[in-house]
Amino acid sequence: MASTQTRHLGQHPGPATQTGLAQPWSWHRGVPGLVLAMCLVNLVSLVSLLTEANAADPGVITLETGQVGALGVASVPLAQAAAGGLTVPAQLRLPAQQQQVLAAPTAGLVTAIQADPGASVRQGQWLVRLRSTQAQALRRNAQQASSQLELAERSLRRDEQLMAEGLIAQSRLDQSRTQARVARLAAQQQQQALGQTLGSAQVAANGDITLVAPMGGQVAELMVSVGQRVDEAAPLLKIANLQELWVDLQVPLSQSQGLRVGQTVQVLVGGEAAADSRRATVASIAPLLDERTQSVTVHARLRQTAAGGLRPGQWVQARVQTGASEPLLPQAAIVTLSASGEQGVFLEEAPGRYRLHKVKVVGQVAAPDGLQMVVHGLPAAQAGTPLRVVTRGTAALKALLKP
């Protein structure tokens, strides 16, 4: 009898047993979906209420303490970028106006050289002597033409006096005047030929030409030796003034937005500022982009001391400095506002009160905790109260903005 009852209960479970087995399984599967749906409804309601609450001022968003936590909004104090935080590779170059080549005015023989490579010279100092038969002939012709002019002018003065006394005919005076005019023209032509050929060089009676330094500086290159014959216009030596150099910076396009003429550039050698250099100043910015490197070439003018430890062709690092410190903030704080590429950040004006400010990114600086952005457009901080910029929850704040 007991066996039959047991078999009956096992084969025909009652309604209470069926309900007890099925109801817990269905309840546990339905709870997560119900909770998720309730959270979504609450979030949508929260966004709707906050949007309506901030509709009066579309740039300002006000949240309660619980809402700040729910949206995950967090802010950090705004740092300031040290002036000149943008460091890029650069190469030193000698400006064209800071170098000159001393050339042979005529063909000749090098008889003496006064300066060796690297020697400092002053303007007007003699450097090279040449012996030239052509220069000797030019000097002789100029002297002869000058003598002919002097003779013709003396003859003209005598004939003018005789004409005044009535002792000669008018035709003779006219002839003397013509001869003087021709002699004057010939002398001018010979002097011009001598000057155009020899310039400021000094020519001796034996044909020795003394060439002087056209500018002060250093002998950068010596191209001839004593006893060598040279042709007309052959280069003899090059003089360079290294006290002024060009600094050619290669600035990536993404970091070139804030560049402007007049900015200060600090030259770095081995990661440290060159001890014998002065700060360079941006003189020009190339209008065209280098397609290969996607960079902008910037030319800065550098003045250094007479000792001049920097050399043309040298690769250095250059730190671009601005006139004043610029705001420096984490990359996560930048918000893209529209399809046109406008950018902005949210500043925390007070606990739970956030205001949107449009900014312009002008550079970036690598930092141990991530990329930091240098921006224009933020308001100045009040004394003793640094600005706070939102770095988390920016997407939620952006969604609350009035369209």
Encode pLDDT of 17-33 as tens digits: 444 444 444 444 555 55
Ranking 82-91, 177-186, 390-399 by mean pLDDT, the lowest is 82-91
Query: For the chain, what percent of residues have pLDDT higher than 90?
Result: 24
Helices (H), 54-132: 65-71
Helices (H), 88-214: 133-164, 170-198
Note the pLDDT of residue 154.
92
Question: Does the pLDDT of residue 380 top 50, yes or no?
Answer: yes
pLDDT digits (tens, 9 = 90+) for 130-149: 988 877 777 778 888 888 89
Confidence of residue 48 (pLDDT cuts 50, 70, 90): low
Q: Report which of residues 148 and 326 the model is more confident about.
A: 148
Average pLDDT score over residue span 84-92: 78
Whole-prediction pTM: 0.50
Question: Does the pLDDT of residue 11 top 60, yes or no?
Answer: no
**CA–CA distance, 62 with 350 (Å, rounded to integer):** 9
Note the pLDDT of residue 83.
47
Question: Does the pLDDT of residue 36 top 60, yes or no?
Answer: no
Helix axes 133-164, 170-198, angle to 10 degrees: 160
Q: Report which of residues 347 and 327 the model is more confident about.
A: 347
Here the tokens at position 129 are 């002597």
**CA–CA distance, 352 with 65 (Å, rounded to integer):** 7
- Burial 114-133, CB ≥16 within 10 A → b, else e: bbeeeeebeeeeebbbbbbe
Ranking 34-48, 85-99, 319-333, 369-383 by mean pLDDT, the lowest is 34-48
Neighbour-count burial of 365, counting CB atoms closer than 10 A to its CB (0-12 exposed, 13-18 middle, 19+ buried): middle
**CA–CA distance, 91 with 246 (Å, rounded to integer):** 8
**CA–CA distance, 130 with 106 (Å, rounded to integer):** 9
**CA–CA distance, 62 with 34 (Å, rounded to integer):** 30
**Residue 22: strand, helix, or coil:** helix
Confidence of residue 271 (pLDDT cuts 50, 70, 90): low
Q: Report which of residues 220 and 25 the model is more confident about.
A: 220
Neighbour-count burial of 324, counting CB atoms closer than 10 A to its CB (0-12 exposed, 13-18 middle, 19+ buried): exposed
**Residue 208: strand, helix, or coil:** strand
Question: Does the pLDDT of residue 225 top 60, yes or no?
Answer: yes
Closest alpha carbon to 109 in 126, 132, 127: 132
Here the tokens at position 238 are 């090059």
pLDDT digits (tens, 9 = 90+) for 231-266: 988 999 999 998 899 999 988 876 776 788 888 888
Question: Does the pLDDT of residue 352 top 80, yes or no?
Answer: yes
Closest alpha carbon to 108 in 268, 243, 231: 231
Most confident listed range (116-125, 277-286, 382-391)? 116-125
Spell out the residues 6+ positions from residue 250 whose beta carbon is closer than 8 angstroms to its own: 88, 89, 90, 290, 293, 295, 296, 297
Average pLDDT score over residue span 348-359: 90
Here the tokens at position 339 are 């399809």
